[in-house]
Amino acid sequence: MQKRNKKLLGILACAASLSGVAAGAVQVSKANISEVKAATNSVGSRQLGVDVASYQSNDMSGFSNSGSQFAIVKVSEGTNYRNPKASSQISSALKNNMMPMAYHFATFGANSSAAVAEANYAVSSAKALGLPSGSYIACDWESGQGNNISSGKNPSANAILAFMKQIQQSGYKPLLYSGAYLLNNNINTSTILSQFPNSLWVASYAQAGRIDNPNFNYFPSMDGVAIWQFTDNWRGLNVDGNITLLPLSYNSSSTQAPIQEAAKPSNNTTTQSSSSEAKTSKTVMYKSLVYDKNGNKTGKSIAAYSQVTVLGGMVQINGRAYYKIGDNQYIVLNNVDGKMRTLSHNAYVYNNKGNRVYSAGKMIRGNSLKTYGAKYHINGKGYYRINKNRYIKAGNF
């Protein structure tokens, strides 16, 4: 969310597009984005919006003119910081017919009492800065500013719930923002969704650099997503780009009631595929064996760079994460979504012959990114694959 914390989110879905261009180049497909009349108290599904902090301008008109239907404004952090531009940003959003929402950067980690104190500060800040009564206030829970993300999935979820419940009791609608990696690995997200269905605002990027419209081939398949943050440089405006998955409103009944969607199977269980299961098209980035509901190999496989239809969200089988692709057919999730690794320094990109494919000016900058499959050996040196025929030396991680 905050620029200084971007590298810590663990949200990059892929280092570059399948065409093999350098990370940072624009390679996206047009999403099915509908055109609706903007409003200050509601926004439809598949609508674009931005989130802003003190790094962005007071004036939201440029974002509105580029198609933004809503603005999520940072109002506070901890219990002693308020965004000095928030009042102007909220006012400008309203003047430009954008629906304003807010977020609070959490520093409470897994401390529930501290979470309640921060929620109260977020509410008082939102009121003082002009956020409309009853609007959405998101808990931005990520690494940075001393926020401890390593206290365990259940304690972290319990503290986040304490924050969200206090927001709700104060008359606002709570959301939870974080990167897809943290939501899957550091938070018991199912506990959050059991009490606040469809309350997730998830960050996951298809590639580094500018993205104009979301490519749903890279949507992070998970339950309960209300908003997807798909880039940190929307249309070259150096602002986070988001899209709604559900209609949001603060002048009618809550949109956080359960909707008709597929239930996530429990360990070692499966459901028959049906029209009611959420379906997402994804690209298999690494040759994937097909397993049954018990985690046994079926003898089938999916070739790398093939398109598959994922049914529902992540499924746990014997402690391993899978995607369901058919009746009693599963593939390993990391072969699709990859494994997050952190670069220790800038790195060159190579092809499968060990030759550099980009100049020094096109190095991958120090960041977190996804790798696919096991370590490769090319000319006696170890590499990790980051895309089709694109590799980075293992020593750079």
Residue carrying structure tokens 């606040």: 196
Give the DSSP letter of residue 391. E
pLDDT average, residue stretch 273-289: 71
pLDDT at residue 367, rounded to an integer: 62
- Residue 217: predicted pLDDT: 81
From the candidates 51, 118, 232, 240, which is the catalytic residue?
Answer: 51
Helix (H) or strand (E) holding 4: none
Q: What is the pLDDT of residue 396?
A: 87
- How much of the chain, in percent, has pLDDT values that exceed 90? 53
Angle at 184 between CA 267 and CA 54, to 5 degrees: 165
pLDDT in tens, 342-395: 777 788 888 889 988 865 456 776 666 778 877 888 998 998 888 878 888 988
Rounded Cα gap, residues 174 and 81, in angstroms: 20
Residue 223 is among the residues annotated as catalytic for this protein: no
Q: Are 200 and 186 in contact (CB under 8 A)?
A: no
Q: What is the pairing mode between strands 81-82 and 70-77?
A: antiparallel
The DSSP line for 175-211 is: EEEEEHHHHHHTS-HHHHHHHSTT-EEEE-BSSSB-B
Is 142 marked active-site?
Answer: yes
Taking CA atoms, 129 is separated from 72, 86, 263, in Å, by 13, 6, 39
- Going by C-alpha positions, the residue among 267, 335, 327 that lies closest to residue 298 is 327
Sign of the CA dihedral with 6 first, then 221, 342, and 175 last: positive
Q: Which of 258, 253, 249 is nearest to 135 (CA)?
A: 249
Query: What's the rounded mean pLDDT across residues 283-302?
Result: 91
Q: Active site residue: 140, 223, 240, 337, which one?
A: 140
Closest CA to 51 of 245, 251, 237, 249: 237
- Tell me the percentage of the chain whose pLDDT exceeds 70: 81
In contact, 365 and 348? CB cutoff 8 Å:
no
Kindly report the three-state secondary structure assignment for every residue of 323-386.
EEEECCEEEECHHHHCEEEECCCCECCECCCCCECCCHHHCECCCEEEEEEEEEEECCEEEEEE
CA angle 247, 252, 253 (to 5 degrees): 85
Q: What mean pLDDT comes out for the span 305-311?
A: 86
Instruction: Give the type of residue at 157.
Output: A
Active site residue 240: no
In whole angstroms, how far apart are CA 48 and each of 174, 223, 335? 20, 20, 29
Q: Given the residues 142, 232, 240, 337, select the one marked as catalytic.
A: 142
Angle between helices 153-169 and 112-128 (to 10 degrees): 40
How far apart, in whole angstroms, are the C-alpha atoms of residue 249 and residue 41? 6
Q: What is the pLDDT of residues 18-61, one digit of tens each?
A: 333 233 333 334 445 655 556 799 998 899 999 999 999 999 99
